[in-house]
Chains A and B, each alone.
Chain A
Amino acid sequence: MARLRSVVVALAGERVELRGDASLYWPRERMLVVADLHLGKTESLRRDGAALPDGVMDHDLARLAAAVRETGAQRVVVIGDLIHDAAGLTSLVRTRFASWRRQLTCSVELVPGNHDQRVASMPEEWGLVVHGECLEMPPFTLRHEPAAVGGHLLCGHLHPAIRLSGGLDGARVPCFHLGAAATVLPAFTPLTGGAPVQAAPGDRVVPVVDGWVFEPLPV
């Protein structure tokens, strides 16, 4: 099983692409779904005294723009935690995102996550379409946190990761977690920890490593 730039899977009867940049692309709706960007996390951690250099946000936004370009998506839906917190929403972060947004012709939409609720509202100049807690796109329900919902759930929040091992080697890597009722996306930004996948029988994972994905593995 070799590395792939993206892998096509059927979720609730729909063909979707799971991509090496940690996004999910739904061709029928020309919709690109990502979770957990945590914009401004660098700035927020700096405020707490962490001596972080720049680079993460620009790198993440560039990857997202590339994903839009490559897929030809007309909608980008961030299923939560677009931003990290109010402290991280510095003027620099606001202007960078706004100018990034202006270069895109597609709509940029947000299904807010717990971190997004740390501010009263998103900056207007970002031109976001902000949805409620759930975005129904049959057969899918898009939401930030896992919950029992009507459709097949696409969510983020958990930053799933899987511990792989084989022979002498082992490593923990982010992954898509494919369950019967829900698919959990990996965090789009690398600036997060990961939580081990809590798998049910029959679940599968798609590891995401440095821009590559692999065929679904049973867990």
Chain B
Amino acid sequence: MPDELDKLRRWMVGQGWTPFPFQEAAWKAHGAGESGLIHVPTGAGKTYAAYMGALAGVMAEAREGLQILYLTPLRALARDIALALQRPIDSSGMPLSVEMRTGDTGTAQRARQRAQLPQVLVTTPESLTVMLSYPEAQDRLSGVKAVIVDEWHELISGKRGTQTELALARLRRWSPALQTWALSATLRDPEAAAQCVVGSDRPFRVIRGDFSRETRLDTISPEKVERLPWAGRLGLAMLPRVLEVLEDGRTTLLFTNTRSQAERWYQAMKDARPEWEARIALHHGSIARDERERVEAGLKAGAITAVVATSSLDLGVDFTSVDRVMQIGSPKGIARLLQRAGRSAHRPGESSHVVCVPTHALELVEFAAARDALEQRAIEARHPLRAPLDVLVQHLVTCAMGGGFDADELFAEVREAWSYRDLTREAFNWALAMVEHGGATLRAYEQHHKVRREGVQYVVASPRVARLHRLAIGTITTEATMDIRYLSGVRIGQIEEDFIARLRAGDRFSFAGRPLEFVRVRDMVAYVRRSGVRPSVTPIWAGSRFPMSTSLGEAVRVRLERWVTRGDEGSREMSAVSPVLAEQQRLSAIPMVHQLLVEQWRSREGHHLYLYPFEGRMTHQALAALLAYRWGQRQPGTFSLTVNDYGIELLGREPMDAADLLSGEMLSDVELLRDVAASVNMGELAKRQFRDIARIAGLVFAGYPGAPKGTRQVQLTSSLVYDVFTRYDPGNLLVMQAHREVLEQQFELTRLEAALARLRGSELLVREIAHPTPLAFPLFIDRLGSRLSTEDLVTRVERMVKTWRA
């Protein structure tokens, strides 16, 4: 094996690359049979660090059959990775092959791979799970010697990570000497991430790059601070300054936080510089794949010099040609900002640079705070999920299909996955009962008996169950979207149905940077034609709004306190935002780190109460619902709730006493789960979330390929399932489990618990206000219309019809 490694090393040198010490360290560790995590910045050469050691082993043995599995979270990256993995093999002249297997892989190739797998396979967590579901899985996969999990930081804290852990546990059972290497950038706790990928109680090694890369953060501050609207909305006001920066023609990625924002900026750039049309582009997850690929190719070739993108470009594709990264609007989190900034420096040791552009005056505080956090390396922690049962339920069926399982053995195996290390036998049995006879309600219905016992083995109940299950494998959850096409049938991309549902024929909107006119919907396709007229609306994609992270929220609170006690400390951002903060202070107050600011305002609409925990919008949503629910238990009422990353607005018809509303009892974590579940239930939020849970746990079926049910239809069905369960079978465990999932996923329950603890210890700073303050104003104008009521629907309708005006 050292010989093979030497060959590979020589090949790298021949390519002009000197192996880095961390790569040598990784090869050595691999040679010693170790597993672990390679933690170095993006673009530093992680792939070869993990791959060469494993490849050397494969070359030494030169046998048939799959030996290296390379998992990537993005199937769009699979091709580039496969090419990179193929190169050293080509140079060696050995008859080893690298193939891909993703959701995009054709049926013929998949069938061939079932018969004969290559030595090296690039795949996704979902496709790996599908492979585990074939009866011959153990034969095919027990020869795997190494699994490389790329971009582990992207997977670890989601259900895809859990799914990966379960798959790895299965592979390890078949191949006890299996080595696992995760690749990751920007993690707060690499040891925990390493433990998670190698499995419970197994030894691991963390390999770090020895170059620490500097990240520089600059801001384009508004020149004339006094002309800032005091409420802080900047919108596209910074566009001219951004265009000035782009004049030099250096390749730039402009990251936005939402797809609608990306659309708006791209449109505005084209309007302002029509002559740039050919060299600027738009890239987001709703745009058709071939269009995105065209943009990526143009970027690599240098034909396109500016791309407005969302997180669709956060990952992957190696853009060595990118000179500059701009962040439009809040960075939302430190790890995300680091990742994005990293796109500007794809050689190890280079410093990266990000230019931040505020869209709202208060974002200047976030930029200053983000710089503080970057300096202190206060990256967000990413925690694996705790034993999500819907993923386990899916896994049980997968294992039953893939050769069957013995319950005791599988229980032990599942607990080797870090996320399930504390799984109780009771919970395991519950999941098993659910797939064996559908739980209590569905006991009578054979089609919900997914596995059955044959002696001590659990096997899949029928070929039909197997077929449906294989189609439904995966935990990626999607918004309800539909294809959007020209009348000619040419596909433009995917658009949210909620958005389309609000349009009437003839309405104009902007999509993929094109002005379009809506024509009609037919067979789950939205048909449009080109419009010569400027669009009136921009689609909003619900799924693309990330909450501000805890790390950034903390840094912002610290920055605000420092502004009060020490002034702007020479920071350009803080100096630029000073007039807004001064106005906030004049009208109300700026909270110290240990304080919770509450503003009360009486308007014609009712009694407004604003509070500012700075915990991000998901946590705020849960907190708002919780407070409204608990308050409503004392006095039935209906509240309008609005949240953003900074705070919450509660609007009610009756006055709310701030001290009562935020008492220790109201912020208590006693019966938190029950109360949040109840508030979520009534807030009608659970229904939407239940769609994903129902699909993962196999309660609804998303459709056959070629004749997929629309997501809308899945949504309709799952909301019916939800309604029917809550109405006819309220104690059903599926619903209760769904609630837990909803709480963790949608509301970051863990974060909510931490936030409640902090708020209980905070000093209340209550201010009566005469107008919305700079902090309150965005909440005031962004009224989401989310509401929570503790009254029954008939009573509410009764009141609504009284004041009804057509």
The minimal Cβ–Cβ distance linking B421 to chain A, given in whole angstroms, is 29
B699 close to chain A: CB less than 8 A: yes
Q: Given A47-B447, A168-B640, are A173 and B701 neighbors across the interface (CB < 8 Å)?
A: no
**A51-B700, A166-B804, A219-B806 known; A173 vs B793 contact (CB < 8 Å):** yes
A193 CB → nearest B CB, Å: 5
Bound form: Cα–Cα A20–B701 in Å: 34
CA distance A191 to B803 in the complex (A): 29
Interface size on B, residues (CB 8 A): 51
A162 CB to closest chain B CB, in angstroms? Answer: 10
How far in angstroms is the closest Cβ of chain B from A41?
8
Bound together, the chains give a CA A174 to CA B699 distance in angstroms of 26
How many A residues, CB 8 Å from partner?
Answer: 38
- Shortest A10–chain B CB gap in Å is 20
Chain A residue numbers with a CB within 8 Å of B701 are 48-50
- What are the residues of chain A within 8 A of B806 when measuring CB–CB? 217-219
Chain B residues in 8 Å Cβ range of A96: none
Asked if B639 lies at the interface with its beta carbon under 8 angstroms from chain A, I say yes
Q: Which of B698, B785, B798, B799: most chain A Cβ within 10 A?
A: B798
In this complex, what residue of B is CB-closest to A166? B800
**A169 cross-chain contacts in B, Cβ below 8 A:** 638, 787, 789, 796, 799-800
- Residues of B within 8 Å of A212, CB to CB, are 794
Are the CB atoms of A51 and B448 closer together than 8 Å?
yes
Whose C-beta in chain A lies nearest to the C-beta of B441? A53
Name the contact of A170 in the complex, choosing from B699, B721, B732, B800 (C-beta under 8 A): B800
Q: Does A164 contact B (CB under 8 A)?
A: yes
Q: Which of chain B's residues 771-806 have a Cβ closer than 8 Å to chain A? A: 785, 787, 789, 792-794, 796-804, 806
Q: Is B534 an interface residue (CB 8 A)?
A: no
* B442 contacts the other chain (CB 8 A): yes
CB of B631 closer than 8 Å to a CB of A: no
Q: What is the distance, in angstroms, from B734's C-beta to the closest C-beta of chain A? A: 7
A186 in the interface, Cβ–Cβ < 8 Å? no
Knowing A1-B798, A207-B797, the reply to whether A164 touches B804 (Cβ < 8 A) is yes
Which residues of chain B are within 8 angstroms of A171 by Cβ–Cβ distance?
793, 796-797, 800
- Complex contact A210–B445 (CB within 8 A): no
A167: chain B residues at CB < 8 Å are 605-606, 638, 653, 799-800, 803
* Nearest CB on A from B644, distance (A): 18
Task: Tell me the bound Cα distance from A1 to B798 in angstroms.
Answer: 7
Q: Specify which chain A residues have a CB less than 8 angstroms from the CB of B723 in the assembled complex.
A: 190
Contact A164 B801 (CB under 8 A): yes
How long is the Cα–Cα vector from A112 to B605 in the complex, in angstroms?
A: 49
Complex CA distance for A215 and B651, rounded to whole angstroms: 29
Contact A50 B785 (CB under 8 A): no
- How far does the Cβ of B482 sit from chain A's closest Cβ, in whole Å? 15
Question: Which of chain B's residues have a CB closer than 8 A to the CB of A2?
Answer: 798
User: Are B797 and A49 touching (Cβ within 8 A)?
Assistant: no
How far in angstroms is the closest Cβ of chain A from B461? 13
CA–CA, A212 and B794, complex, Å: 8
Q: What separation, in Å, do the CA atoms of A175 and B189 have in the docked complex?
A: 55
User: Chain B residue with minimal CB distance to A193?
Assistant: B716
A12 to B733 alpha-carbon distance, docked (Å): 51
Measured between beta carbons, the chain B residues less than 8 angstroms from A165 are: 800
C-alpha spacing A158/B701, complex, angstroms: 25
List the A side residues contacting B639 at CB < 8 Å: 168
What is the CA–CA distance of A52 and B804 in the complex, to the nearest angstrom?
Answer: 36
Minimum C-beta distance from B313 to chain A (A): 36
Query: How far does the alpha carbon of A190 sit from the alpha carbon of B724 in the complex, in Å?
Result: 9
Contact, CB under 8 Å: A168 / B793: no
B721 touches A3 (CB 8 A): no
B638 touches A168 (CB 8 A): yes
| B728 and A56 contacting across the interface, CB-CB below 8 Å | yes
Q: For B640, what are the chain A residues with a Cβ–Cβ distance below 8 Å? A: 168
Whether B800 pairs with A50 at a CB distance below 8 angstroms is no
Q: Does B468 contact A (CB under 8 A)?
A: yes
Q: How far is A215 from B797 in the complex, measured between Cα atoms in Å?
A: 12
A73–B804 Cα distance when bound, in Å, is: 33
Which of the residues A46, A173, A210, A219 comes within 8 Å of B447, measured between beta carbons? A46
Chain A, Cβ-Cβ closest to B695: A49
A25 within 8 A of B: no
Output the least CB separation between B251 and chain A (Å). 46
Docked-complex contact A51 and B797, CB < 8 angstroms: no
Given contacts A45-B720, A55-B728, A56-B724, contact A164 B441 (CB under 8 A): no
B605 (CB) vs chain A CBs: closest residue: A168
A70: CB under 8 A from chain B?
no
Mark A189-215 against chain B: 1 for CB-CB distance below 8 A, else 0: 011010000000000000101101011
| Cα A52 to Cα B725 with chains together (Å) | 7
Cβ–Cβ contact A51 & B734, under 8 A? yes
Smallest distance from the beta carbon of B598 to chain A beta carbons, Å? 20
Contacts of B652 in A (CB 8 A): 168
Is B798 touching A51 in the complex (CB atoms < 8 A)?
A: no
CB within 8 Å of A: which B152-175 residues: none
Check: A54 CB closer than 8 A to any chain B CB. yes
Contact with A along B473-502 (1 / 0, CB 8 A): 000000000000000000000000000000
7 residue pairs of the A-B complex, CB under 8 angstroms, read: A3-B797, A46-B447, A49-B701, A53-B442, A54-B441, A215-B801, A217-B804
7 more CB-based (< 8 A) A-B contacts, given A49-B472, A168-B653: A3-B798, A45-B720, A51-B441, A51-B700, A170-B787, A207-B797, A217-B804
Interface residues, chain A, with chain B CB atoms under 8 Å away: 1-3, 42, 45-56, 59, 164-171, 173, 190-191, 193, 207, 209-210, 212, 214-215, 217-219
Nearest first, the 5 closest Cβ-Cβ pairs linking A and B are A49-B701, A55-B728, A166-B800, A53-B441, A168-B640
